Structure 1
Amino acid sequence: MMILVIGGSGSGKSSYAEEVVCSVSEEDMKKYYLATMQVFDEEGQKKIERHRKLRSGKGFLTIEQPRSIGRSLEKMDGGKKTVLLECISNLTANEMFAGERPRLEMQVVENVVSGLRKLKENTTNLVVVSNNVFEDGIVYDQTTMDYIHAMGEINQRLAAMADRVVEVVAGIPVVI
């Protein structure tokens, strides 16, 4: 089963996704947390520490995988498993801006979606967290707009792949 959890910054989507993982995981099933955030500053480090505290004691095995998300399967044991991927916006940015020049939007979309498809096919439960980054109505520079368009396309494709899509608004999960 694949569940896509989407919401704005600070909406409570991460906490909700962790609750979902704990509720769908069988007792003997391993729970993996795929962390995609790369730390560049103190603010990023604080965010990671906050997330670690939130999932403390919940039995997650953490895998740091900022790019090539499908390769995270190589770091997991076989058998039944539940995976929480946190989050698509970081993964997309990491894929797009990994080199000297940004990768093409559709190349990034294909890389991210194919990696997620591989994860879905090889896990019992997959919970994916993504950000809603397209609602401010501001037109940014072309590179930022390419990123926003890539996120929009990725979210649409993941929603089509998902068994359930949930938007978290002010801490309230709304099943779509």
Structure 2
Amino acid sequence: MMILILGGSGSGKSAYAEDYLLRTAGDKKKYYIATMQIWDEEMQAKVARHHRMRQGKGFTTIEQPMELEQAVSQMEPAGAVLLECMSNLTANEMFSGEQPVDRQTVITKILQGMEGLRKQADPLVIVTNNVFEDGIAYDSATIEYIEALGRVNERLAAEADEVVEVVAGIPQRIKAYPISIERKQACVLSNLFS
């Protein structure tokens, strides 16, 4: 099962994603794929805060700012995975060299890495940022990044079993996980006789 969780900066999407994974993981090994590259003290402080938030929750952290397929080789099959976050991964893949990598190459590379991860993870919870919402004019490299992240988000949302947008800490289901008729009937019957 793949769940895409999106929201703006400071929306509460990361906390929601972590809680979601902890509720659905059961006894499975839990992995946290961290994609942030640490460039300065502010980023280091943010990473340290995230480590403190996860402390004691049973996560194995895999620092993987690029080359998503390498994270797969570090995991046991059928583990529960939280990928935090697609926005950082896309930026890292595009801007880590001397020249930005073209949008289509970045999209293809990320989606190929996601294929391997989807085969290995259950559930797979992905955190990403909303794009195209601020209406600000950007330089061409930033537009390429926004376009790439937008296309990756579209593809992941289409393939996801569930899509949730978090706004001010409140999750809003955009795409709900389908429940079979038999399961709905069993839920209704169990509620009637409880």
TM-score (norm 1): 0.96
The 1-side partners of 2:24 and 2:83 are apart by: 15
Task: Quote the residue 1:162 is aligned against.
Answer: 160
The 1-side partners of 2:114 and 2:6 are apart by: 15
The 1-side partners of 2:60 and 2:2 are apart by: 19
Identify unmatched segments of 5+ residues in structure 2.
175-194
Q: State the structure with more CA Rg.
A: 2
Q: Using CA pairs below 8 Å that are at least 6 residues apart, which structure has the higher relative contact order?
A: 1
Task: Quote the residue 1:100 is aligned against.
Answer: 98
Deviation at 1:18, TM superposition (A): 0.4
Task: Quote the residue 1:69 is aligned against.
Answer: 68
Task: Quote the residue 2:130 is aligned against.
Answer: 132
Tell me the secondary structure at the aligned position of residue 127 of structure 2: strand
TM-score (norm 2): 0.87
Identify unmatched segments of 5+ residues in structure 1.
none
Instruction: Extract structure 1 runs of 4+ deviating beyond 3 A.
Output: none
1:147-174 CA distance string (max 9 Å, x none): 0111110100010110000000000000
Asked if residue 11 in structure 1 is aligned to residue 7 in structure 2, the reply is no
Tell me the secondary structure at the aligned position of residue 138 of structure 1: coil
The 1-side partners of 2:159 and 2:119 are apart by: 11
State the one-letter code of the partner of 1:81: G
The 2-side partners of 1:98 and 1:43 are apart by: 19
Deviation at 1:34, TM superposition (A): 0.2
Task: Quote the residue 2:81 is aligned against.
Answer: 83
Matches within 5 A, 1:40-55: 40-55=39-54
Deviation at 1:49, TM superposition (A): 1.2
1:115 maps to which of 108, 113, 116: 113
Identity of aligned residues (%): 55
Task: Quote the residue 1:143 is aligned against.
Answer: 141
Task: Quote the residue 1:37 is aligned against.
Answer: 36
Task: Quote the residue 1:153 is aligned against.
Answer: 151
Q: CA RMSD in A?
A: 0.9
1:46-86 CA distance string (max 9 Å, x none): 111111111111100000001111221111123x3100000
Tell me the secondary structure at the aligned position of residue 121 of structure 2: coil
The number of equivalent residue pairs is 174
The 2-side partners of 1:111 and 1:129 are apart by: 18
Maintained 8 Å contact 2:79/2:121: yes
The 1-side partners of 2:64 and 2:164 are apart by: 24
